[in-house]
Amino acid sequence: MSALLPGGKIDESRPFKPVRIAVLTVSDTRDEATDTSGKLLADRVRAAGHELVEKAIVPDDVVRIREQVKAWAASQTVEAIITTGGTGITGRDVTPEALTPLFDKTLDGFSVVFHMVSYASVGLSTLQSRACAGIIDGVFAFCLPGSNGAVKDGWDKVIAPQLDSRHGPCNMVELMPRLLEA
C-alpha cells in the first residue's frame, strides 16, 4: 500500500474500476476554447483511468444547470457528475441552488473536507466557496468552484481518491451498486 492522504491508502493489490464521469462547466463567459477549468478536470478524469462520458458548458442559469444534470443522472451511463463554476457568492453563482434540491442525499463531509484542503491552498478565501456534493438518482454529483486551483485541489485531494476503487479503508465506488437500495 502506498500512502495517499492521512487516513487513506491505495491498495495496489485491488483492481481499479473506471468510473463513468460527466463534467459540466457552469459559466456565462466561457466557451470550449476558454474553459480551462473544465478542460483541466476532464484531462484529470481521463488521466486517472476513468471514462469521460461527456463534457458540456451551460450558463449560470438554474434551469439549464438542472436540465443537464438531470439528463445525465437519468442516462444510466453516468456514475458521477462533476461541475466546475457557479459555487461562489455573487448574484450569478447558482450551482448549489440548482443542484441541492435534486440531492436525494447530501454529502456534508465533502464540503468540510474540500474547505480543509482549500484552506491549505488559499487560506480564508475558501469562505467564498459553496462547494457541495450529493447523490442524485444514484449518481454522485460534486460541485467545485471554477478556478483551476480549486479544481486541482478538489479532484486531486478529495474526489479522485474516493472514486478510486483501490482506496482504503473505503471508497465511493464500492457503494455505487447500493445507492438506490430501498
Query: Domain extents for the chain?
Result: 17-170
Strand locations in 39-125 (E):
51-58, 80-84, 105-106
Distance CA 58, CA 68 (A): 8
Q: Above 90 in pLDDT, residue 2?
A: no
Q: Give pLDDT, residue 6.
A: 56
Q: What is the pTM of this model?
A: 0.95
Cα Rg of the chain, angstroms: 15
- Number of helices (H), then strands (E), belonging to the chain: the values are 6, 9
What is the mean predicted confidence (pLDDT) over 87-113?
97
Q: Give pLDDT, residue 4.
A: 44
**Residues 4-62: tens digit of each pLDDT:** 445 678 999 999 999 999 999 999 999 999 999 999 999 999 999 999 999 999 999 99
What class does CATH assign to 17-170?
alpha beta
Q: How confident is the model at residue 1 (pLDDT cuts 50, 70, 90)?
A: very low
Higher-pLDDT residue of 148 and 1 is 148
